[in-house]
Structure 1
Amino acid sequence: MLGAGVFASVGPAAAAAGSGLLVALGVAAVVAYCNATASARLAAVHPESGGTYVYGRRRLGPVPGFLAGWGFVVGKTASCAAMALTFGAYAWPSHPAVPAVAAVVALTVVNCLGVARTAGLNRLLVAVTLLALAAVVVAGLGGGAVDTANLAGWADADVPGIGQAAALLFFAFAGYARVATLGEEVRDPARTIPRAVPLALGIVLTVYVLVATTALLTVGPEGLAAAAAPLAAVASSGTLGFLTPAVRIGGAVASAGVLLSLMAGIGRTTMAMARDGELPRALAAVHPRYRVPHRAELLLGAVVVVIVLVADVRGAIGFSAFAVLVYYAVTNAAALTLDGPSRRWLRPLSVLGLLGCLALAFALPVATVLTGAGVLAAGVLGRALVRTALRGSGSDPST
């Protein structure tokens, strides 16, 4: 989670919501909390690789499960491209595609070596990211450029703009699903996952509120919206501008960390769908030594490289947000079917999460909504056509 929203979403969100950025961050956090709670409870009951693809399939049926899995795979693949391009823009602004492709190749190799190494490298990346975000806050608040007038006018922000900004900022919170999608590789998942998910979300929200407030106080919503690297603009706004290179390095490191986590989660969901025949079964192969879905990881790396060469960062973020919000709508719908002592308080949260996901998804620009809905519909239609053809040929497709 750390890095995606701060380094990639704050600018577009400020352009949409203006001084209402913090309100939008709060809305995104509420929806994310509902989703995180539903994900954690479902993961405890179904500790399997695949996340909401598995939950939807087990509790709602094969079509909702496929919709969630397809939305996750295509949405997060777009996220991978966005993060790779962000890495390239910070690492080598004049030729961003070169380091972007190099990062995808390198992290594909890391993921193919196994989750233990992935987790260790991710801890290092998060530590560097936190140091960079600390540099943003110190440079912003200590550089003498703070203007409290930049926070004025938040009450005048329009509801559609706040909704669109919240959808874009939601992109930053969605990383808690990585815990659930790695369910088969976690010790004592019934205890560990419900504790890890809200803890991670709480830490990230605290960091985002601090950084977003600093950014608004120093450069204001207009400055954030206009900057190609918003947090670098914050660091350079005052007398402590010498910290700007550290922020740029942090932006690259943060993007690499998010990319690493995303690729691990997509590979496991792809593997789970391939096991059930929803994707080519060859992608369900697990490496005999490293115990990872190596074919799925290699295919993902190749697809992301292609997207990086033609992608637009902001468009990729919007498309990813729409697809992932649909994914979490299925998560909340699946959580509504859970029984047990937690049902009384879980059900209202799941209803709020379901309605919140749908509202934010359709608050995005019309072109993004149409593109996202078209891709998701194409996946569902393609699945139906393949299954019809298999039945017609006498095969017995998995349902």
Structure 2
Amino acid sequence: MAPDKNPSLRRTLTFPEVVISGVGVILGAGIYALIGVAAAEAGNALWISFILAALIASFTGLSYMELSSMFPGASAEYEYSRHPFGNEIAFVIGIMVILSGIVGAATVSLGFAGYFSAWTGAPVLPAAIALLIVLTIILLAGIRHSAIFAIVFTLIEAGGLIGIIIIGLPYIGSVDYFAAPEGIPGIFAAAALIFFAYQGFEEIVKLSDETVQPEKTIPMALLVAIGITILLYIAVSISVVSIGGAEAIAGSPNPFAEIAGQAFTGGYLIFTIIALFATANTALLMLLASSRIFYGMAKKNTLPAAIAYVHPGRRTPVVAIVGAAFVSILFLLPGNIRDVALIANFTLFITFIVINAAVIRLRQTMPDAPRPYRVPVAVRNVPIPAVLGVVTCLFFLFQLDWQILLVGVVLLVGAAVLGWILPYIRQRSDEKQ
């Protein structure tokens, strides 16, 4: 039999495998990197901030479920926004998705550097830059990921969180869990920051092309993965503040290592190593994903074709990888993990506003399109959870500092201008030829 000249991805992933992959992607390392900074703002009421951030993830997750059942392909956000809003908006959202990964890698690298610096005394910024350079070299050399490694990574990261929960169990009930030094504004501000820890649930839909019956499997797996992660995060937040109160970890660059170090001999070193592994691995995966989206958009001529260059020997998209890493290093320069994480959250809030709005609009413009999964509870065919998704994203968007909003607006305008200029340049180039 002659080989297929246009092979497609093999549909082999089942419901349990998608759930496990989803939990692994969501867990990542955001909570390892940011819980100390968030505790400084929310105090012992940190768990409330995790619940508020979970609301955004839940509402938007439902919208992703409906859209992934309508368009069960790996194009994800670009496809979801193109149908209701056109190519221009879709391009901007594509850039926002790329930036969320790039800035997310910078955030997690600073988290890695925080643990590494507290352990060795090395300066934070050079350590974060060095990590990104090493990860870039690994990606350029070519790296193969398998389901076995993905499960191992998930178990290590989840094992660290479960370990923190176990350590905190004897202290449950020892503090006032509603004590918030900054009051309600501090709880909301911490929630806007903590949302970074939920980043990744939107990546589950990108497994559609490799999943059995994706229109049914992906939506339910997404819901279960988000649910597991929410419960795990809330339990961790209660445990960490139970041991000496939130002030014990407030602003700490290595909160889990400090908690473990108080609990048992060798705990500091063990949890430092777990955190270093988790943060380095997450930064690697974020750079990998961002470079592949860069490559994919260039291959479709949405971005300059040069970005789609693939090394003939190593079969890696060299320009896309180096470009993603370079931009990620630029976002390290503020040196403040809180600010970098909030910039990443800005890109996510904008993306999720459009995703929720897409569900609402498509209910009006494509009411008869097949929807194996529908967002529940609608009034006149307007899904209420999607409306709440837009409202909550807007609310938390404006909890960000004005400096973060300014940077975000600059990124948005830059993406829009780029989307306008590139077709014009391409047209002029075609006319000359």
Q: TM-score range by the shorter chain?
A: 0.7 to 0.9
**Match status 1:332 vs 2:363:** no
- Kindly report which structure 2 residues correspond to 1:1-399, keeping only aligned pairs within 5 A, or say none: 1-93=26-118, 94-95=121-122, 96=124, 100-101=128-129, 103-108=131-136, 117=145, 119-142=147-170, 148-153=174-179, 158-238=183-263, 240-284=264-308, 295-308=319-332, 311-336=335-360, 337-338=362-363, 339=367, 340=371, 342-343=373-374, 345=376, 347-388=383-424, 393=428, 395=430
Matches of 2:107 and 2:147, distance apart in 1? 21
Matches of 1:365 and 1:350, distance apart in 2? 25
Q: Which piece of structure 1 moves more, 277-286 or 5-14? A: 277-286
Matches of 1:372 and 1:254, distance apart in 2? 27
Cα 1:298–1:41 shift into 2, 3 Å: farther
Cα 1:304–1:389 shift into 2, 3 Å: closer
Cα 1:162–1:301 shift into 2, 3 Å: same
Cα 1:294–1:35 shift into 2, 3 Å: farther
The alpha-carbon deviation at position 379 of structure 1 amounts to 1.6
Q: Can you give the 5+ residue segments of structure 1 that lack an aligned partner in the other structure?
A: none
The alpha-carbon deviation at position 160 of structure 1 amounts to 3.0
Cα 1:230–1:199 shift into 2, 3 Å: same
The one-letter code of the counterpart of 2:198 is F
The alpha-carbon deviation at position 206 of structure 1 amounts to 1.7
Are the aligned partners of 2:260 and 2:271 in contact in 1 as well (CA < 8 Å)? yes
| Deviation string, structure 1 residues 116-168 (Cα, Å, up to 9, x no partner) | 616543322221122222332233334xx6663341435x8644322221111
- Residues paired across the two proteins, number: 391
Matches of 1:140 and 1:117, distance apart in 2? 34
The one-letter code of the counterpart of 1:231 is F
Give identity over the alignment, percent: 26
The alpha-carbon deviation at position 86 of structure 1 amounts to 1.6
> Which structure is higher in helix share?
1
SS at match of 1:225: coil
Are the aligned partners of 1:51 and 1:180 in contact in 2 as well (CA < 8 Å)? yes
> Highest CA radius of gyration, 1 or 2?
2
SS at match of 2:156: helix
Matches of 2:210 and 2:324, distance apart in 1? 20
Are the aligned partners of 1:150 and 1:221 in contact in 2 as well (CA < 8 Å)? no
TM-score by length of 1: 0.85
The one-letter code of the counterpart of 1:264 is L
SS at match of 1:200: helix
SS at match of 1:219: coil
